[in-house]
């Protein structure tokens, strides 16, 4: 049997049979997937953790590999394994520059990467692509119906076999199993480590009220506890690291302030011609709509109209913009923020954990009303609540030695204790250029006494 081997720093030698390689290679070689080479997995994370320069491309390959491993372990048929491998590979195809951070340019993140993903999938679902694909895979044709199943798995819609959907998107999916290990490795920390091989060994198909689901046998309870705590610690210490969140907030403020000015600010006229400039102007118009939550038709119209620009964007486009703006050194906020990001003039962070949020918000609002010289990007409160595990919405199912299936919380006191609990991460981000101002120091002292 011939194998195609991809050397990976996390999983070692990822082996794909020749047949499996042909299942995914047409997608890997496509321009849409190659674009992911230039989109960092952790947004601005490498400004805090210098090793975190890995990309959505690396992660998507790893996710595809783990999906294949799960499918083999639980005994899925070849055609089912083919579908979950492709879905795992393409699940992040819709990400924009700096991954999740870019979603912040839309007010309240009204358009997320998942909304773009479906439009990317449309480009693959053509008769021309199927014809070329099927010539390379004479025994395992890809049809419109099969590709619809792939899209449904990625888009969290119901599918004929829920087990396949669980491999692609659940609380124990291939996506999370890869990114925890990968992000931990590249950030140089051990928070995200767990025994993946034992977890795969303990995975099994279990019965449930809604049909068969992907679950774990009772011997895997310990590793699942470890995995969920790893996710909690990675969220608190990496994904929601205060300085990372503050830098990503600055990036969003740069793009948003630029979007508001491009149509009228003459010095930035040349930016309007770029793909990123055209998209930002469209985003500004979209954000000005009166609807707090625009209906699905308006979102789809925006995506369809601006897809040709969005699909070409990556981190490089934003970095070029940052360099251009920082060189200008004008009074526009975008130029000032660009200078902070280019030369890593990170904001000062004031931790506000376990604080009365309403009191903090009230103090800040009053302070800004009396000190209008400080702009929002210079002084802002960042709050990011998170939930480590949802035991009610989508529980991980465990089957014991007697064949009885129960939620994980019935087997684990620790997971039961954190299940469905919101934890809060909050900080005050202060531009270093104003951090030593007397008024700012007084504000800090007041907040520290709450």
Is residue 337 pLDDT above 80, yes or no? yes
pLDDT in tens, 133-187: 999 999 999 999 999 999 999 999 988 899 999 999 999 999 999 999 999 999 9
What confidence score (pLDDT) does residue 271 get? 95
Which domain covers residue 372, as residue numbers?
347-385+424-450
pLDDT in tens, 228-249: 999 999 999 999 999 999 999 9
Structural domain contains residue 107: yes
Q: Are residues 373 and 231 in the same domain?
A: no
Residues 187 and 48: their CA atoms lie apart, in Å, by 9
User: In this structure, what token pair is assigned to residue 215?
Assistant: 């679950």
pLDDT in tens, 425-435: 889 999 999 99
Structural domain contains residue 300: no
Is residue 1 pLDDT above 80, yes or no? no
The CA-atom distances, in angstroms, between 111 and each of 191, 261, 281, 291, 298 are 31, 21, 15, 13, 11
The CA-atom distances, in angstroms, between 355 and each of 126, 421, 428 are 53, 17, 12
Q: Are residues 180 and 36 in the same domain?
A: yes
Please give the tally of structural domains in the chain: 2
Residues 154 and 114: their CA atoms lie apart, in Å, by 8
Mean pLDDT of 354-364: 84
What confidence score (pLDDT) does residue 450 get? 80
Q: Are residues 207 and 165 in the same domain?
A: yes
What confidence score (pLDDT) does residue 261 get? 92
Is residue 292 pLDDT above 80, yes or no? no
Q: What mean pLDDT value characterizes the chain? A: 95
Burial of 265 (0-12, 13-18, 19+ CB in 10 A): middle
What confidence score (pLDDT) does residue 290 get? 66
Structural domain contains residue 229: yes
Mean pLDDT of 80-97: 98
Structural domain contains residue 172: yes
Q: Residues 242, 425: contact at Cβ < 8 Å?
A: yes
Residues 67 and 64: their CA atoms lie apart, in Å, by 5
Q: Are residues 142 and 113 in the same domain?
A: yes
What confidence score (pLDDT) does residue 357 get? 79
For residue 166, the domain's CATH number is 1.10.3210.10
pTM tops 0.85: yes
Residues 347 and 247: their CA atoms lie apart, in Å, by 8
pLDDT band, very low/low/confident/very high, at 200 (cuts 50, 70, 90): very high
Q: Are residues 22 and 169 in the same domain?
A: yes
């Amino acid at each position: 049997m011939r194998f195609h081997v991809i050397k990976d720093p996390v999983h070692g030698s990822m082996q794909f049979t020749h047949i499996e390689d042909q299942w995914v290679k047409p997608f890997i070689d496509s321009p849409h997937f190659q674009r992911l080479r230039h989109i960092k997995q952790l947004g601005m994370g490498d400004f805090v953790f210098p090793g975190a320069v890995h990309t959505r491309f690396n992660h998507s390959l790893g996710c595809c590999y783990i999906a294949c491993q799960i499918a083999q372990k639980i005994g899925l048929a070849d055609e089912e394994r083919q579908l979950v491998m492709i879905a795992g590979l393409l699940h992040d195809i819709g990400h924009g520059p700096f991954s999740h951070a870019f979603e912040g340019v839309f007010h309240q993140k009204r358009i997320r990467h998942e909304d773009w993903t479906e439009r990317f999938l449309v480009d693959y679902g053509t008769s021309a692509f199927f014809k070329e694909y099927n010539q390379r895979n004479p025994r395992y044709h890809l049809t419109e119906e099969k590709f619809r199943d792939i899209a449904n798995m990625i888009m969290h819609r119901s599918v004929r076999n829920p087990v396949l959907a669980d491999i692609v998107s659940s609380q124990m999916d291939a996506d999370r199993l890869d990114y925890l290990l990968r992000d931990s490795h590249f950030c140089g920390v051990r928070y995200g480590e767990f025994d993946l091989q034992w977890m795969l060994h303990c995975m099994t198909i279990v019965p449930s009220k809604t049909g068969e689901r992907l679950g774990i046998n009772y011997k895997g309870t310990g590793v699942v506890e470890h995995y969920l705590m790893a996710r909690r610690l990675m969220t608190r210490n990496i994904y929601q690291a205060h300085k990372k969140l503050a830098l990503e907030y600055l990036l969003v403020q740069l793009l948003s302030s630029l979007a508001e000015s491009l149509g009228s600010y003459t010095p930035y006229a040349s930016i309007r011609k770029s793909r990123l400039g055209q998209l930002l102007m469209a985003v500004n118009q979209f954000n000005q709509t009166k609807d707090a939550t625009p209906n699905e038709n308006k979102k789809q119209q925006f995506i369809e109209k601006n897809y040709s620009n969005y699909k070409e964007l990556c981190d490089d486009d934003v970095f070029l913009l940052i360099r251009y703006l920082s060189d200008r050194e004008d009074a526009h906020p975008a130029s000032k923020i660009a200078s902070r990001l280019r030369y890593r003039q990170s904001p000062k962070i004031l931790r506000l954990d376990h604080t009365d949020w309403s009191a903090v918000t009230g103090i800040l609002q009053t302070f800004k009303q009396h000190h209008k010289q400080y702009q929002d990007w210079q002084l802002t409160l960042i709050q990011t609540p998170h939930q480590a595990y949802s035991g009610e919405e989508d529980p991980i199912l465990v089957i014991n030695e007697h064949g009885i299936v129960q939620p994980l919380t019935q087997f684990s006191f620790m997971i039961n204790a954190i299940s469905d609990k919101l934890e809060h991460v909050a900080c005050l981000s202060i531009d270093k250029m104003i951090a030593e101002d007397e008024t700012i120091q007084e504000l800090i002292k007041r907040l520290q006494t709450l």
